[in-house]
């Protein structure tokens, strides 16, 4: 996280005095009867690393392609750096794109691939090659200038694609699943490299991804998309700890969700009676709601605690039966069964290498959490 803090510290989306760099205003895109992007409005500021996060078919790629100019919005307007993009073809836009499949020209060497954008702008060969070798050094491909794309590994191709999309120093870089084709280890390394490059060049990045971890690591802000709509925009911790609706809570990370009704609505606290949980849930802060309103309570597995005795001070505690334990290395996931038959999950970090007395299979224990651990959702 500390990588993003320095960028996030400015937070122009909160200050509100700087004009947005990219303004997406009521944009829709229909393919026949199918609405891929539905009335999306979004402001993205200079220097941001903005992630569009969502499952496949949620419209995130279509939105990105409209920014690049490959698709024309059916409705609405897109402004980049104060300029209306309507009718401007891809080759006339101040954007560059890094494609999911990389789309490297197979008949050209690495060097010529990277130089392509400069050459199309009429730059002389000698000057272009100088810029290219500088860029290749930056992405650590100095010795690969003469290779063809098919002679490179997946990670090397990814870096060529990045170099090619950065060579023209675009104001806005669009990245479509930039790390999707890399294996896990390489992906994690490359994430930080990407942030470093973004910070050193000061380019605004818009990244499309379906990988929530990637979105969390990379971005200053995340826009979560579902069925063509933006369902929540916020900083990574905001999205994780304060999801605005059930879709976001469920999509990002894993969550235990209880449906219930408000039984006590006070300014300092509320109580939710949940048949699923098998009791009352105490929420230690006021919530805008009415008595007897149906709502949902979401609490993340790592916020739950397990104990053999009922914790005296806990505001929320329920008896559970340990049905399964999944050992993940750094943590263990407990599959717990409530007396109501509902399953919930709790995560416990494995702090000690020797935990012989730890809670394990087929035990009847207590699960408890703080009155601030969960989120009340009305949507």
Partner 1 sequence: MTDVTPADAPVPMRDADRSTAWRGTAAVLRRVGLDGRSLVIAIPFVWLFVFFLIPFLVVAKLSLSEPAIAIPPYLPIWEWDGLRLILNLNFENFAYLWSDALYVNAYVFSIRVAFVSALFALLIGYPMAYFIARSPEPRRTLLLTLVILPFWTSFLLRVYAWQGFLRSNGVINNFLIWTGIIDTPLVMLQTNFAVYLGIVYTYLPFMILPLYANLVKLEESLLEASSDLGGRPLATFFHVTLPLSTPGIIAGFMLVFIPAIGEFVIPELLGGPDTLMIGRVLWNEFFSNRDWPVASAVAIAMLVVLVVPIMILRAAQAKAEAD
Stretch that binds partner 1, among 16-24, 116-124, 125-133, 191-199 (CB under 8 A): 116-124
Q: Is 88 a residue that touches partner 1 (CB under 8 A)?
A: no
Q: Is 168 a residue that touches partner 1 (CB under 8 A)?
A: yes
Q: Tokens for 103?
A: 């789309």
User: In angstroms, what is the minimal distance from the CB of 14 to partner 1?
Assistant: 32
Q: Is 120 a residue that touches partner 1 (CB under 8 A)?
A: yes
Beta bridge partners of 86: none
Give the residue, chosen from 25, 79, 88, 99, that forms a contact with partner 1 under the rule CB under 8 A: 99
User: In angstroms, what is the minimal distance from the CB of 1 to partner 1?
Assistant: 32
Q: Where are the beta strands (DSSP E) in the chain?
A: 22-31, 34-44, 49-53, 75-80, 83-84, 95-98, 172-176, 204-209, 221-226, 229-234, 256-265, 270-274, 279-283, 294-299, 305-307, 316-327, 331-337, 343-349, 364-369, 375-377
Question: How far is residue 105's CA from residue 93's CA, in Å, rounded to a whole number?
Answer: 21
Give the residue, chosen from 159, 164, 345, 348, that forms a contact with partner 1 under the rule CB under 8 A: 164
Nearer to partner 1, 55 or 90 (CB): 90
Stretch that binds partner 1, among 95-103, 225-233, 253-261, 275-283 (CB under 8 A): 95-103
Residue 39: is it exposed, middle or buried by C-beta count within 10 angstroms (0-12/13-18/19+)? middle
Site string for partner 1, 48-87 (x = CB under 8 A): --------------------xxx-----------------
Contact in structure between 137 and 92 (CB atoms under 8 Å)? no
Half-sphere exposure of 25 (CA within 13 A, CB side): 13
Question: How far is residue 6's CA from residue 117's CA, in Å, rounded to a whole number?
Answer: 31
Q: Is 91 a residue that touches partner 1 (CB under 8 A)?
A: yes
Nearer to partner 1, 91 or 327 (CB): 91
Q: Is 121 a residue that touches partner 1 (CB under 8 A)?
A: yes
Dihedral angle of Cα 110, 114, 120, 125, to the nearest 10 degrees: -70
Q: Is 117 a residue that touches partner 1 (CB under 8 A)?
A: yes
Q: Is 90 a residue that touches partner 1 (CB under 8 A)?
A: yes
Q: What φ, ψ does residue 365 adopt, rounded to 5°?
A: -135, -175
Q: Going by DSSP bridges, is the β-strand pair 375-377/279-283 parallel, antiparallel, or unpaired?
A: unpaired
User: In angstroms, what is the minimal distance from the CB of 199 to partner 1?
Assistant: 23
Residues that bind partner 1 (CB under 8 A): 68-70, 89-91, 95-97, 99, 101, 103-107, 116-117, 120-121, 148, 164-165, 168
């Amino acid at each position: 996280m500390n990588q993003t803090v320095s960028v996030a510290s400015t937070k122009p989306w909160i200050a509100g005095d700087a004009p947005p760099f990219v303004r997406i205003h009521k944009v829709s895109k229909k393919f026949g009867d199918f609405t891929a992007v539905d009335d999306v409005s979004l402001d993205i500021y200079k220097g941001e690393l903005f992630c569009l996060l969502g499952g496949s078919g949620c419209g995130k790629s279509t939105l990105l392609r409209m920014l690049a100019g490959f698709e024309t919005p059916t409705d609405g307007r897109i402004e980049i750096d104060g300029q209306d993009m309507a009718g401007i073809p891809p080759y006339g836009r101040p954007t560059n794109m890094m494609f999911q499949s990389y789309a490297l020209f197979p008949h050209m060497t690495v060097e010529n691939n990277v130089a392509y954008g400069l050459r199309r702008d009429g730059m002389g060969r000698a000057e272009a090659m100088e810029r290219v070798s500088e860029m290749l050094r930056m992405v650590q491909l100095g010795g690969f200038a003469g290779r063809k794309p098919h002679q490179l590994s997946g990670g090397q191709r990814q870096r060529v694609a990045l170099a090619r999309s950065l060579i023209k120093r675009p104001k806005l870089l669009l990245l479509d699943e930039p790390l999707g084709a890399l294996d896990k280890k390489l992906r994690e390394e490359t994430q930080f490299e990407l942030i470093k490059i973004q910070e050193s060049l000061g380019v605004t990045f818009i990244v499309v991804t379906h990988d929530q971890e990637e979105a969390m690591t990379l971005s200053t802000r995340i826009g979560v998309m579902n069925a063509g709509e933006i369902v929540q925009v916020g900083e990574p911790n905001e999205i994780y700890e304060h999801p605005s609706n059930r879709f976001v809570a469920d999509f990002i990370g894993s969550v235990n969700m209880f449906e219930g009704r408000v039984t006590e609505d006070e300014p300092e606290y509320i109580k939710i009676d949940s048949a699923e949980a098998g009791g009352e849930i105490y929420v230690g802060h006021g919530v805008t709601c009415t008595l007897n309103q149906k709502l949902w309570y979401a609490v993340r597995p790592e916020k739950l605690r397990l104990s053999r005795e009922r914790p005296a001070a806990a505001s929320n505690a329920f008896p559970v039966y340990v049905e399964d334990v999944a050992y993940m290395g750094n943590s263990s996931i407990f599959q717990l069964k409530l007396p109501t038959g509902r399953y919930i999950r709790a995560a416990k970090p494995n702090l000690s290498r020797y935990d012989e007395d730890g809670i394990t299979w087929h035990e009847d224990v207590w699960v408890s959490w703080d009155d601030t651990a969960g989120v009340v959702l009305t949507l």
